[in-house]
Amino acid sequence: MKYYKGMDVSTLLEVERCGGKFFDQGKERELLSILKDYDVNAIRIRLWNHPYSEDGDPYGAGTNDFETAKKLLRRGKELGFDILLDYHYSDFWADPGKQFVPKAWRGYSVEQLEQAVYDYTRLTLSELLKENLLPEMVQVGNELSNGLLWPTGRVPEYDNIARYVKAGVRAVREVSRLSGREIKVMLHLDNGGNNALYREWFDNFTSRGGDFDVIGLSYYPFWHGTMDMLIDNMKDIAKRYKKDLIVAEVSMGYTMEDYASFEKLSKEERKGMATRQELVDKIEYPMTKEGQSNFMRTLMERLEEVPEKRGKGFFYWEPAWIPVPGSGWATESSLQYIEDKGPCGNEWANQALFDYQGNALPALEAVRDYKP
């Protein structure tokens, strides 16, 4: 498998609609073209089943429905990017703290949910095949550390977890065979520095006959431990499961300067930066442009330590989510769906690979110059 220098650009269309612009060396350019020139070779696109309220209000954060995914796929394919399509199997964010069943699947039995995962995956991939937009890799579920489709698929219900995930994998395999093209299957957990988590989850899945190609890990240094912990975990699971590994989500901040003036929200409406100071004080790299660049360079270098060259790269999470009015992590409608009190706003702008005005940062040069 090739080495991926990837970027998750799921909010791109929304940022553009809200007036976001991107610049490289002072010249305004289209975002994906800039990334291409910095040796990025893949993009990751998340997919939510129906990110709208029952009244049709969009959920925000990219409102990544199937039509949005197709638009991003098409733009990526036109520039020659490989695509990782990230199925959340939810109408909004799915992660270790929330795995809400899509509204259309509420009340389903375990058997019905298993069939729904298969049908939805098969239907969407079949449509992509017709439009010549098949991804090179599919992520069956997002940050599955605590399962999916709660409550029936919540850890420790590993029998149900395996049923749901295997249904998605089966659909990917069938469309792959029909297309005559290989589509890799990734299974993705969070907390990449937690070896016990990965052993427990993948031991349970593989013991139930689970089939997959790639293990994806999230690694955010302010949440998930040291880089030593990440690499030690990757070394162990590479030997244990004999699969290729990709850091499917990673980021590092470049500043702690506030960006409230760019969002144009009141203090009560803003959630603020995910990188709270008490978290930043614990990480190994300074939150500066140089610190961000050094972090990325070190990550790429240390992936070489994974045995049998199984460290196959990374996908930087939302490098282009710059602070523009109207693009935040949630809306009032989506907060109701995920039972969250909010507030909204952009939590991520100080971790992008473009500054608040949309200028490319030095970390992209580190990505460009690294040769695996």
Question: Which residues are tagged catalytic?
Answer: 143, 249
Note the residue count of the chain: 372
Within a 13 Å sphere around the CA of 268, how many CA atoms are in the beta-carbon half? 0
Alpha-carbon separation of residue 27 from 15, 289, 352 (angstroms): 18, 20, 18
How many angstroms separate the CA atoms of 69 and 87, rounded? 11
Contacts for 50 with CB less than 8 Å, ≥ 6 apart: 65, 91, 102, 103, 104
Among 250, 337, 327, 316, CA closest to 49: 337
How many angstroms separate the CA atoms of 4 and 311, rounded? 10
Rg over CA atoms, the chain: 19
Q: Which two tokens stand for residue 152?
A: 């029936």
